Amino acid sequence: MNGPQMEDQLNLYGRSFSSRLLLGTARYDSPSLLADAISAADPAMLTVSLRRQISGSKESGQSFWNLLRESQRAILPNTAGCFSAREAVKTACMARELFETNFIKLEVIGDELNLQPDPFGLVEAAVELVKLGFYVLPYCTEDWILCRRLIDAGCRVLMPWAAPIGTGQGPRNPRALRELRERAPQITLIVDAGIGLPSHACQVMEWGFDGVLLNTAVSRALDPVRMASAFATAIRGSRSAFLAGPMSVQEIAVASTPEIGRPFTFESPQHPLQL
Amino acid sequence: MFVNVNGKTCLLPELRTLDALLRFLSPAVPFAVARNDEVIPRGTYEECVISTGDRIDIVHPTAGG
């Protein structure tokens, strides 16, 4: 790795990561497929959750835990399934005790159908969790006022959706996402949810987003390991493209080959001594 | 004594502390525990007295997005 790449790290609450991909661990067909996808994606963090033990799942729970430890990746617990700020705060406190980390992916869901974040519950929970010393990564919409309230609450990282969880639709509201990037230049922005293809990840990374969080796009691909690798390559490439400073879009064609000196063309007559 | 464990009411022998309850239940490792919605830090289970009617939640890592 050369110098500039070494310097270009993802920063989450003072912790640096060389990868800009965060990977979810759900919906893989087998633990070995998950382990291989992690190796291929080389993610900064793995998102996980916490649940009561289901009878008969004692061994699978322990093998999942062993897999996480062997991956040696940073853990990002979530509050998935919470529909109120109170529930989310309690779940986050349990997650901190279980995973021994202050990082929390804050989810407060407001609608069962499209799993859209509840902006009011999200801000209420974020305020409380920041007070409790958590590093909050809220899963939010691209709404600027909501994002501003979360920033005011002390969130230094925001995770706006591209589209509803698990849909793979890609960025539904590109203009608002780009405006958010412009208006919050000091905040780490990670697009979370709704990404289906590496080209979707490229889009948001080329707009200057700092990272992408994926799950279903990898786990439900026909070949999850290959897709994990495709996303990792795409995110690295599009981050480099953003840093390289893309050209500005023009309204009319601009020839790239010089016009002057083209053969077989006739210019206006000139005095022979000027040739 | 009756204790609600993970949403189910259980008839248990008289167990004075959370530590004794966890030894009795032997949940898969790792886990985190809350008593009546309050997280109990590991290392304090022996000091945590439980009473009949308490709600105990025991959670484990699981896959998530």
DSSP structure string for A110-137: --TTT--B-HHHHHHHHHHHHHTT-EEE
**Residues of A involved in catalysis:** 105
**Any idea what DSSP says for residue A31?**
H
Bridge partners (DSSP) of residue A49 are: B62
- The count of domains in chain A is 1
pLDDT at position A275 is 59
Distance CA(B22)–CA(B8), nearest Å, equals 16
Domains of chain B: 2-59 (3.10.20.30)
Are A98 and B32 in contact (CB < 8 Å)? yes
**Do the beta carbons of residue A75 and residue B30 sit within 8 Å?**
no
The number of beta carbons lying within 10 Å of the beta carbon of residue A185 is 8
Q: How confident is the model at residue A265 (pLDDT cuts 50, 70, 90)?
A: confident
Tell me how far apart the alpha carbons of residues A49 and A71 are, in angstroms, rounded to a whole number: 16
Band the pLDDT of A59: cuts 50, 70, 90: confident
Helix axes A119-131, A85-99, angle to 10 degrees: 40
**Residue A258 token pair:** 């010089």
- Write the single-letter amino acid at A112: E
**d(CA A98, nearest CA chain B) in Å:** 5
pLDDT above 70: residue A89: yes
What single DSSP character describes residue A172? S
- What CATH number should be reported for the domain holding residue A218? 3.20.20.70
* Type of residue at A229: S
User: Which ipTM value was assigned to this complex?
Assistant: 0.95
Hey, what are A223's tokens? 């070949």
d(CA A47, CA A212): 12
CA-CA-CA-CA dihedral for A118, A17, A188, A38, to nearest 10: -40
The pTM score is 0.92
- Flag whether pLDDT at A1 surpasses 50: no
* CB half-sphere exposure, A27, CA atoms < 13 A: 15
Residues of B in contact with A216 (CB under 8 A): 65
Residue A243 domain boundaries: 3-274
Q: Up-side HSE of residue A6: CA atoms within 13 Å toward CB?
A: 3
Task: Look at residue A4 and tell me whether its pLDDT is greater than 60.
Answer: no
Interface with chain A: mutation pick from B39, B56, B60, highest number of A CBs within 10 Å: B60
pLDDT 10s digits, A153-206: 999 999 999 999 999 999 999 999 999 999 999 999 999 999 999 999 999 999
